[in-house]
Structure 1
Amino acid sequence: MPKFCANLTWLFTELPFLERFAAAREAGFDAVEVLFPYDVNAQDIVNELVRHELQMVLINCPPPNYTGGAQGFAAVPGLQARFRTDFKRALRYAQTLGAHHLHIMSGVAEGPEAKETFIENLRWAAAEAPKQSLTIEPINNETMPGYFLSDFTLGHEIVTQIDAPNLRLQFDTYHAAKITGDVLGTWEAMRPITAHVQVAQMPDRSEPDQGKIDYPAFFADLDAHGYQGWVSGEYKPLGTTQEGVGWISA
């Protein structure tokens, strides 16, 4: 069976943030991820991880602009200097938390110059942090209009072109369903370059046992091919989180 972790940005939101770590451990999770934890003191998070014997699997990068800026801008031409500054800040935070992966968000952009900018920034980041696993994630344009990396073929091309040992793909089944309509087929193509998996159901992004995606087949495929990474529950619970975690044992 795959190793499951809880996305604490999406799960246990009925609780204050720092109380979600205990809830995740009580629900049976050994690890967690948090999309943008930067407004919380890193040591407070470390304390919760240690107290409940949890691993931090992933955080997003760069930190969000709390004045209303976009979440991510690694593909936005002209912002390379800002990207490098913010990446270093995110890297320090990730290292403090012991995060396995640092997800670099492309932001809203389009065209050949955006692609060149994204590749330039990713090459620099991979060289700047050779011991830190970095990921990029295709996100559908309905969820994030204008997001540059909204295509799995493009994600595969970029990871392959850069060819850095610490840069891999982040595979979200919900986005795969929205982008290609074929989760298992897309996974088959992306499996060799994937370091992290996130799951949610279609069409309402709820618990994996509630909708159209064949998760028993997907999880069986992960096991059959020896996937060693984490599988994160990144979904909107239909009720309380605790009421819906039965999908893991099922």
Structure 2
Amino acid sequence: MKIFLLTLMFLIMLVSLQSCMNKTSSNKVAATTATPTPAPGFTPGSVDTGSGTGTGSSGGTVDTSCTAPGTGNQPFDYYTLPSIIAHGKSSGVVAWSSATDPRLQTPTAQNMFVTDARFQVRVLAHSSPGKAIDTYNNVCTMEALPYTRLQVKVGLKLPGAATYFSTYTFDYTNNAEIDVNGCSPSHSFTIPPHTGPLVVEVMNAKWDYSCTWDKAMGVPESSSSYCPWGLVWVHDCYEITLQVATDYTKGLP
């Protein structure tokens, strides 16, 4: 009888242990595959035509190829973050950051930048916003200038990091400069292991207007230090849209 009771107790302990292991395993799977709550207002792939008032190359209508639905079987489309209006900055100075954009200061909004592996970025360029208010509520004091193309550099940081783990410049050397009312090719970043939302930053915005101005002043293009590109002037503003695809969205087309 004693042996029977000991055997029965041992079997009960084994069943309980197996149940706990299954529960722990189930919880781990749920934690790694759960889809974050979509960031409100930024999905699915909303179309932004920009607020620009300048004389852009396409008359203010965004090319339809830049707003086509995403690819793949995920239930909702890539994110579109419209109306990023920024001032020109010196080289290397951040003009916009996902960590400081006033529209993104909630955990739900930051879900836009949560991913384990895939992180694609595409940039749309809009004509000059002129005397607008930038994303950080600073006044753009100059009249709209008719730039027709933009270049920008995008950097990615891990949460809490001081330096970028990856950067990419959407420029002519990568065949990725952006026509006004058009979009760049999408770029796929390689993402290291991490937890939490990535930080996306924009800097080194350049336009073709500096070259246009120099030529209007009689400076030959071959002699101009601003041709074909120059940094956007610090008192002027430009406008872009960012599109972002993650593990939890369709891919950028």
The verdict on a shared fold, with TM-score over 0.5 as the criterion, is no
Q: TM-score, normalised by structure 1?
A: 0.23
Higher relative contact order (CA 8 A, sep 6+): 2
The structure richer in strand per residue is: 2
Question: Whose helix fraction is larger, Structure 1's or Structure 2's?
Answer: 1
Give 1 or 2 for the bigger CA radius of gyration: 2
